[in-house]
Amino acid sequence: MHKLRLKFSKNGPIKFIGHLDVMRYFQKAIRRAEIDVKYSEGFSPHQVISFAQPLSVGATSDGEYMDMTVNSMISTEDIKNRLNEFMNEGIEIISVVELGDSAEKAMTAAYAAKYKIRFRQSLKPDFDWISEFKKYLDNDKLPAMKKTKSGEKEIDMKPMIFSCECDEADESVTLLLSMSSMATLKPSLLFGGFMNSKGLELDNNALDIHRIDIYRLCEDGDKSYIEPFITDDISTRFYLNV
């Protein structure tokens, strides 16, 4: 038995497929590719697969993750190739790695996510939003009302923003935001706060969100850093302030 983690992209029209439907899509693709996936016990067995954080409908990504347990395989490379043979264009398996037995599920191991964010052309603010956004982030506190199961509560978004890079020419900002079971900051909440600070409301569909990757927390001696789930590039590491 092998526990595997797959990294995949989601681009093009496929971005309109909701999270549950992406899961159903993968279940069928795994069958088409005749992967020897492990099934749960019981009267209606299901594949042992699970996904990291859902991506909102309309967002694209180059860093989605799925965990999958297989009974047997030739190699992780073979799993990747076989699945890619049966993927729709727009979804591509980027890499497959084998996890240790004690590895946390992708869902629980997630700590942060990196996004590239633009405004959709027809819903773009009519002011220089990038420089205004930079100023907004300079505030000591970024209060926002976050919806919870029991209602709304006020939170401070500031500590949940790890980094921000602005690209004026590209009219985009790249943000590394907290995304864990403890604290998740959605781009829409942050930009909602930003627009409110300008006395405006954020249109639900205004943001063109691209997820670049999902990060996990690692320890390096007494220092903590985060890095993408699957990476062999040390430059992607991001050290957290201690």
Partner 1 sequence: MNYNLALSDETLLSIEKPERYIGNEVNSVYKDKNAVDIRFAMCFPDVYEIGMSHLGIQILYGLFNSYEDVWCERVYSPWTDMDKVLRDKDIPLFALESQEPIRNFDFLGFTIQYEMCYTNILQVLDLSKIPLLAADRTWDDPIVVGGGPCTYNPEPITDFFDFFYIGEGETRYREIFDLYKKARKDGVSRQEFLRQLSHIPGMYVPSLYNVEYNDDFTIKSMKPIYDDVPETVKKEMCTDLSKEFYPTKPVVPYIKITQDRVVLEVMRGCIRGCRFCQAGQLYKPLREKDVEYLKQHAIESLKNTGYEEISLSSLSSSDYSKLPELLDFLIEECNDKKVNISLPSLRIDAFSLDVMSKVQDVKKSSLTFAPEAGTQRMRDVINKGLTEEDILRGSHEAFLGGWNKVKLYFMLGLPTETDEDILGIGDIANKVAVEYFETMPKEKRNGRTIDIVASTSFFVPKPFTPFQWAPMNTKEEFLDKANKTRKGIMSQLNQKHIKYNWHEADASMMEGILARGDRRLNKVILKAYESGCIYDAWGEYFHFDVWMKIFDECGIDPFFYTTRERADDEIFPWDILNCGVTKSFLLREWKNALAGKPSSNCRLGCLGCGAASYGVGVCTEGKNNA
Smallest gap from Cβ 154 to partner 1, in A, equals 28
**Quick one: which segment of 18-26, 61-69, 96-104, 173-181 binds partner 1 (CB under 8 A)?**
18-26
85, 104, 108, 120: which one contacts partner 1 (CB under 8 A)?
120
Based on the shown chain and the rule CB under 8 A, indicate whether residue 57 belongs to the binding site for partner 1.
yes
**Quick one: which segment of 69-77, 83-91, 102-110, 211-219 binds partner 1 (CB under 8 A)?**
83-91
**For residues 46 and 134, which CB has a smaller minimum distance to partner 1 in the complex?**
46
Based on the shown chain and the rule CB under 8 A, indicate whether residue 209 belongs to the binding site for partner 1.
no
CA angle at residue 9 from 66 to 217, to 5 degrees?
Answer: 55
Smallest gap from Cβ 62 to partner 1, in A, equals 16
**For residues 16 and 239, which CB has a smaller minimum distance to partner 1 in the complex?**
16
- Residue whose tokens read 């030739």: 74
| Phi, psi values for residue 133, rounded to 5° | -65, -40
71, 75, 88, 139: which one contacts partner 1 (CB under 8 A)?
88
- Residue whose tokens read 């500031």: 158
Based on the shown chain and the rule CB under 8 A, indicate whether residue 71 belongs to the binding site for partner 1.
no
90, 164, 197, 231: which one contacts partner 1 (CB under 8 A)?
90
Based on the shown chain and the rule CB under 8 A, indicate whether residue 29 belongs to the binding site for partner 1.
yes
Task: Show contacts of 147-150: CB within 8 Å, 24+ apart.
Answer: none
91 φ/ψ sector (left φ>0, alpha ψ -120 to 50, else beta): beta
102, 122, 148, 235: which one contacts partner 1 (CB under 8 A)?
122
Based on the shown chain and the rule CB under 8 A, indicate whether residue 85 belongs to the binding site for partner 1.
no
Rounded CA-CA distance 47/176 in Å is 32
Instruction: Name 215's bridge partners.
Output: 112, 228
Rounded CA-CA distance 179/164 in Å is 15
Smallest gap from Cβ 202 to partner 1, in A, equals 13
Q: Where are the beta strands (DSSP E) in the chain?
A: 2-10, 49-51, 60-70, 91-99, 110-119, 143-148, 151-156, 161-167, 172-178, 207-220, 223-228, 238-239
Structure tokens at 181: 């079971």
Based on the shown chain and the rule CB under 8 A, indicate whether residue 72 belongs to the binding site for partner 1.
no
Q: Nearest to residue 82, comparing CAs of 96, 69, 98? A: 96
Instruction: Name 145's bridge partners.
Output: 154
**Quick one: which segment of 41-49, 102-110, 131-139, 169-177 binds partner 1 (CB under 8 A)?**
41-49
4, 6, 17, 175: which one contacts partner 1 (CB under 8 A)?
17
- Residue whose tokens read 């191991």: 109
Where do contacts with partner 1 occur on this chain (CB under 8 A)?
A: 12-14, 16-18, 21, 24-25, 27-32, 34, 39, 43-45, 57-58, 86, 88-90, 120, 122-123, 204-205, 208
